[in-house]
Amino acid sequence: MSARILIVDDLAPNLHLLEVKLAAQYYDVVTAMSGKQALKLAGSEKFDLILLDAMMPGLNGFEVCKRLKSNPATWHIPVVMVTALEETRDRIRGLEAGADDFITKPIDDFNLLARVKSLLRLKMVTDQLLSHTGDSKENSRPMLELLDNRKGRILILDDHERKLQLLAAPLQGHHEILLEADPKRAVELINTQIDLVIVSLVSNKFDGLRFCARLRSDTVTRDIPILAIGDPEAEATLVRAYDIGINDTLMRPIEDQELKARVNTQLKRKFYADSLRDNFSESMEMVITDPMTGLGNRRHFDRSVAPLFDQLNQTGQVFSLVIFDVDRFKRVNDILGHDVGDIVLKEVAARLASNMRSIDVVSRYGGEEFLIAMPDTDQEAAIIAADRIRSLIGGTPITVGDQGFSIAVSAGIAEAQKGDKFRDVFKRADSALYQAKHSGRNQVRGAGEKNIAA
């Protein structure tokens, strides 16, 4: 995958070594030799990942990371601390500053690239979600902060009961913990709502890598974060785990604070992605849904009817277009008020939606006009169906408060012909609707056909 990576180190040999390793994988690499220079570059240019040396003169890596994560323009960029420090307190310090991962010197190529690829995948997903929702990085930050204290549902998988209890202890009270020693039962649990999976890669009774691979191959569990517990001596296993798609690793022996810090990092990322997906779904619904009636809007209709024209031209499968219009709707608004007019439109929409087939495309096309595409339906059959709907709408009074009144609708119908564009069919149906209105309203007329009056 192509990406732009900023490497920050005060020693030129270290910079050159990392630059060569990453450039060989076709990454676009930029370098900085101080924390101050790194902050300036990160604020003015776009990066997908930052490799940051922890110990530098002046601004050290921890302070640089903290500033990056507090800046609305850079907080979303994954940061990997590159350090010779191996003590747990230093790793915790980096994670608390906002670092997403650690790489210890001397740097192993496979471990470096596995972690880089893993974080770049996450960055790519975040960028895609941000672009779809239209949320800026700045206004997304408060949303993430609100999610920081949210409790997660965590499944821990290990074949040893004592190890399960030790892993769960630091997390109890902060999150809901499920313990499991059987990978088959674990998969069944994960199919419910799980926010994070912690799995042992050093189990004697099951293959942790195979379990992780299964999660990543299933669409239901593919996006659930995985924190793998590993042995620092089993580097090949850890590299393979990242290649499969795990999100983070924790080495034995496990320190409680580091466990909590890594769990919180993964949960925040999960909750943020979930929130973005929810916003995306809501935004998409707003784009294609008429807010008053809940029906599809004009954009939704235009997109939905396009495949029907393709089927007509390719296979000859017919469909018809129906335009319903509320009779004398302006008088309803003028006499009874726009609030009542809105109630009328909602009720007409509800009666249309509940009486048409599931395959029919029903939309509010504008004002008091509703448009329906009826697949696999010729004009004659569409006329019969539309007249049935007309009768149902006009035959049941609409109640507003303690007052009931009846409304009427007229409809125009046209069958699509091979070679037609949407405007051609719409024009014929609209002309038929005009004839229905001109002939007294409360009736259905097909293009070129006689009207069916009430």
Place of tokens 């709707």: 329
Decide if pLDDT at 66 tops 90: yes
Judged on CB neighbours under 10 Å (0-12, 13-18, 19+), 210 is exposed
Domains 1-138 and 298-453 are alike in CATH topology? no
Query: Binning pLDDT at 50, 70 and 90, where does residue 139 land?
Result: low
Domain range list for the chain: 1-138, 148-278, 298-453
Lowest mean pLDDT, pick from 47-56, 78-87, 367-376: 78-87
148-278 topology per CATH:
Rossmann fold (3.40.50)
Please give the CATH number for the structural domain made up of 298-453.
3.30.70.270
Please give the CATH number for the structural domain made up of 1-138.
3.40.50.2300
- Average predicted confidence (pLDDT) for the chain: 87
CA distance 308 to 314: 10
CA distance 263 to 294: 40
Structure letter (DSSP) for residue 360:
S
Q: Which positions are annotated as active-site residues?
A: 368
Q: What is the pLDDT of residue 451?
A: 45
Query: Binning pLDDT at 50, 70 and 90, where does residue 286 land?
Result: low
Q: Which residues pair with 150 in a beta bridge?
A: none
Helix, coil or strand: residue 343: helix
CA distance 303 to 270: 32
Q: What is the pLDDT of residue 290?
A: 86
Structure letter (DSSP) for residue 91:
H
Average pLDDT (424-443) is 95
Average pLDDT (341-347) is 92
Q: What is the pLDDT of residue 95?
A: 81
- Of 273 and 422, the one with more pLDDT: 422
**pLDDT tens digits along 387-419:** 999 999 998 888 887 788 889 999 999 999 999
Place of tokens 């504008």: 366
Structure letter (DSSP) for residue 10:
S
pTM above 0.95, yes or no: no
